[in-house]
Chains A and B, each alone.
Chain A
Amino acid sequence: MMEIINEYVFSVFFVETLLNGLLYGGVLALLSLGLNLIFGVIDVVWICYAELVMLGMYTIYFMHVRYGIPLIPSSVICVLMVALLGYVLHRIIIAHVLGKAPINQLLATGGVLFFLQSIATLMFGVEFLSLGVSLGSFQLTEDIYLSKSQFVAFIVAAAAVAGMYFFLSRSYMGAAIRAISQDREIMILMGVDANRLYGITSAIGGGLAGLAACLLALQFDVHPFVGISFGPIVFMVCVMGGLGNLVGGFIAAFVFAELIAIGGYFADLEWGTVLAFCVFVITMFIRPEGLFARKS
């Protein structure tokens, strides 16, 4: 028994696995941030959130590879583009289903998911497109290498979470957004234009999806179905952290990523995913409001 522990747990590869899980957690944290904000404020599940990210990845691919725009300006265009998409999504679809049953909201955004996936297939085909940018890796110790793009994603995610936290807690607009998420009815009676606030929140959520898209494009190829590969994970992260709880979502992202990484280390990557989702289901039974919900 001890031999097995020695061989597996105290090995360099295991440390590398943990570090990679940590970095993947950064990407997940960033992905879940925008969705969590929308969940928390507008109380709608954007089932199509991952597909917005996918369109963002296409945006940056076309800007950078096809039109030769440098990476940083391409990223800015990508963020703005997806922010606009988020706003439009809210205006033309979500606004119509706001008062409806949760299932209808879920299904309307599900329709958008199908639409975006297949419009991407129509316009861009099913090939895997690569940004072709490699930031390389750096050497941490003698045996451990880490990918720079993952590291950048981690740093940006942490910065974005911190930024969101300060935006929500310090700025006037942030206070308004928090207020409307606490009481939708009273705020409207106080003369707040809820639709405008929702629109702004959607744009911010979209922008965060765009930011995530920029970082994902550095690590993964883009294809029309890339959303399905991480979309469900992002939902689970948000729910596990407690819907609308940004800090909880941030921590849950790392828990999830580590579970996948550790499961993948001992068996296949698929088993890692299975493990993570099983933990999610059990968590839901024990703490339905999420791991980090404050008792009210």
Chain B
Amino acid sequence: MVEDRPDGPAESVSELFDALRRSNCRYALYYLQDRETATLAELATVVASWTQARAADPEIVTPEDRQRVMVSLHHADLPALEDAGLVRYDFDSKTVTAESLPEMADAILEKSLVYERLADREPDHSDRRESGNEKEPNDE
């Protein structure tokens, strides 16, 4: 539980928001809601595809796009989720296991999913912006 972490409740609230402000982290958590575990590869497929499916004009997600998301998950997003105590990430086997969510995280995620639904296809996801909305139609 977040409350039990040695670095204190205030620190852990910061860590929780630091994770949840990242759309990669939220979408990984939405996906993990009904599943105990997922592999890094599986999460990369889901997060890359899902965030692109929300774009105003969805493009095809290529293996290279997915690879970029995998690198971000491995080095930044999953460690942030682990710091916030929301998942366990095994660096060697590259498997992610969902922790039982603290009440606050659970409530926030439930609300944020409703908001993502209302905001459907509004390109307002700040951390998606650099990752490809400007892509030219790749005519070849």
A binds B: no
Q: Please give the residue numbers on chain A whose beta carbons come within 8 Å of chain B beta carbons, in ascending order.
A: none
